[in-house]
Amino acid sequence: MAAAEANPKSSIDVNSGFCAKTKTYHSLLPDIPPPSEPVPLSVTDYAFSLLKKLHSLESSTALIDADTGYRISFSELIRRSRNLAAYLQNKIGLSNGETAFILSPNSIYITVLHFSLLSLGVIVSPSNPANTESEIAHQINLCKPVIAFATITASSKIPPLRHSTILLDSSHFHSMMTSQPIAELKPVNVSQSDVAAILYSSGTTGKTKGVKLTHRNWIAAIQVENALSAEAVEKPTVFCAVPCFHVYGFAFSFGYVALGGCVVLMERFEMGRMMRGIERFGVTLLAAAPPIIINLLKNDKMIDGYDLTSLKTVISGGAALPQWTTAKLANRLPHVQIVQGYGLTESIGGVSRPMGPEDLKVIGSVGRLCPNWVAKVIDPETGNSLPPLKQGELWIKGPTLMQGYIGDDEATSAGIDSEGWYRTGDIVYFDNKGLLFFVERLKELIKYKGYQVAPADLEHVLQSHPDVVEAAVIPFPDEEAGQIPMAFVVRRRESTIDEAKIKDFVARQVAPYKKIRRVSFIDSIPRNATGKVLRKELIKLAQMNISSKL
């Protein structure tokens, strides 16, 4: 903010960050200059340069296995990463620019593997072990790996590659990290513009795409987090309850360790084990997806059964969080603040976040633009840039923005224009104080008789009903209206609520054109690994129900 105020000629509003001349929104925090671009630098080397400034590398814990309690110190993390890198370089022959495919649930050894591969300039491409063989084949066709790292149970899904698959839960892999290397690690010249990771978009609204993120992207992300947390009295202990194959979990498990924080990882999520881990390890920050937070807040007995006094912050990401959760958390855990930001795989997350206690009080906001980010809000119909309080598609530009989609120039050109602006496909608006509000995915808006209806708005209403465990809303074809809102609802066990009561409950709280017109009760809402509703699956289910009745 001070940077904007220091320049009297600036046309940037010091409250909203909106520039009336360029019709763009700016972060009001000082920009953070990245390292000089010509200097070769891998994100691992950058991270280790930060860790070397710590005074207690040997005694401080970097990683904890939540199930066993096994710990790895920062000095051990660095040793293991270098030992593994030396083995992969000298014994396997991996080199700069090649790709490694990773198929595994969360593990402290995955983080060691990430540091190791990235130090060699090897591109990391993690995938969901729950994916089918055909889904994995599509991803492998995109990233073209020469080697794979997988658990024993997931390894059968991987086709033959140039090098054999290395089993992560084997004694052989463990010895690669801990044994004295057969030869010294040779220096690798990694350019900041080299691709570091290929992560996969959720595919909820189209085919899965491989997102190319460079070493410079990751360095910039760590720099911003380092600046925003500079005033923290102590390093956080983070429980990462989100998958490391997703950008959310990858960024937390890698980024917080790079900044000297302790990260707790659990192989397979289970609510009770997470709660025990928070209590046992004195967790101060929980990174979770909305379904986990919703489940926690709807289970009072779960909260009462554990000592959560160490927990200070819950960060929600991966999908939108219902607005009622903030008030519920404040009531049940008044010492804990819930933080919801905005980000994408294409931006390594981190486009906006609350910047202080006052921001956290604003229900529905996803915070302010982070340092270095610039944004526009574009009217989808006219293409005009919009001022505060006007809804439109969010376009963004910043140093952590992806290089593009691998093997898909058409999708890259459709996503990033000639000036470097990325079209997010999200409908948002900024208020007069510079706070960003997410409304809905552009492609998911329901068009009812010319009106635009955001499914998220109706889902918030539905989930506020005590008999509704969770709900999702989709567009349903209608000859007269074009589309009507249809709700899929998961009822509380023993509940007798019916379609008429659901419709009436919503109708009393929304404008007439937003009313729910159809209701289907379902056992569970299909979601991806980070909690996003798989609306296309629900649309298919609705279509199947129509066909079965014809």
Helices 499-507 and 455-463: crossing angle in degrees, nearest 10, is 110
pLDDT in tens, 284-301: 999 998 888 888 887 778
Distance CA 337, CA 315 (A): 8
pLDDT grade, residue 202 (50/70/90)?
Answer: low
CATH 3.40.50.12780 residue ranges of the chain are: 43-269+341-436
Q: With 80 as the cut, is the pLDDT of residue 129 above it?
A: yes
Q: What is the pLDDT of residue 18?
A: 97
Share of the chain above pLDDT 70, in %: 96
Distance CA 504, CA 465 (A): 12
Q: With 50 as the cut, is the pLDDT of residue 8 above it?
A: no
| 511-529: burial string, b at 16+ Cβ within 10 Å, e else | eeebbbebbeebeebbbbb
Beta bridge partners of 352: 342, 369
Question: What's the whole-model pTM score?
Answer: 0.85
Distance CA 397, CA 347 (A): 9
Mean pLDDT for the stretch of residues 257-266: 96
pLDDT grade, residue 6 (50/70/90)?
Answer: very low
More confident site: 115 or 39: 115
Q: With 60 as the cut, is the pLDDT of residue 549 above it?
A: no
First to last CA, the chain: 61
Max distance between CA atoms of the chain, in angstroms, equals 73
Token readout for 337 is 């603040």
Q: Which CATH number fits domain 449-549: 3.40.50.2300, 4.10.490.10, 3.30.300.30, 1.20.910.10?
A: 3.30.300.30
Q: Sheet harboring 71-73: ordered strands across?
A: 71-73, 61-65, 262-265, 237-240, 285-288, 313-316, 337-340
CATH 3.30.300.30 residue ranges of the chain are: 449-549
Q: What is the pLDDT of residue 544?
A: 79
Instruction: Of 125, 381, 401, 139, give the one whose Cα is nearest residue 244.
Output: 125
pLDDT in tens, 335-360: 999 999 999 999 998 899 999 889 99
Classify the C-alpha dihedral 83-87-89-90 as positive or negative. Answer: positive
pLDDT in tens, 443-501: 777 888 877 788 888 998 998 999 999 999 999 988 778 889 999 999 998 899 999 99
CATH 3.40.50.12780 fits 43-269+341-436, yes or no: yes
Is the distance from CB of 322 to CB of 290 less than 8 angstroms? Answer: yes
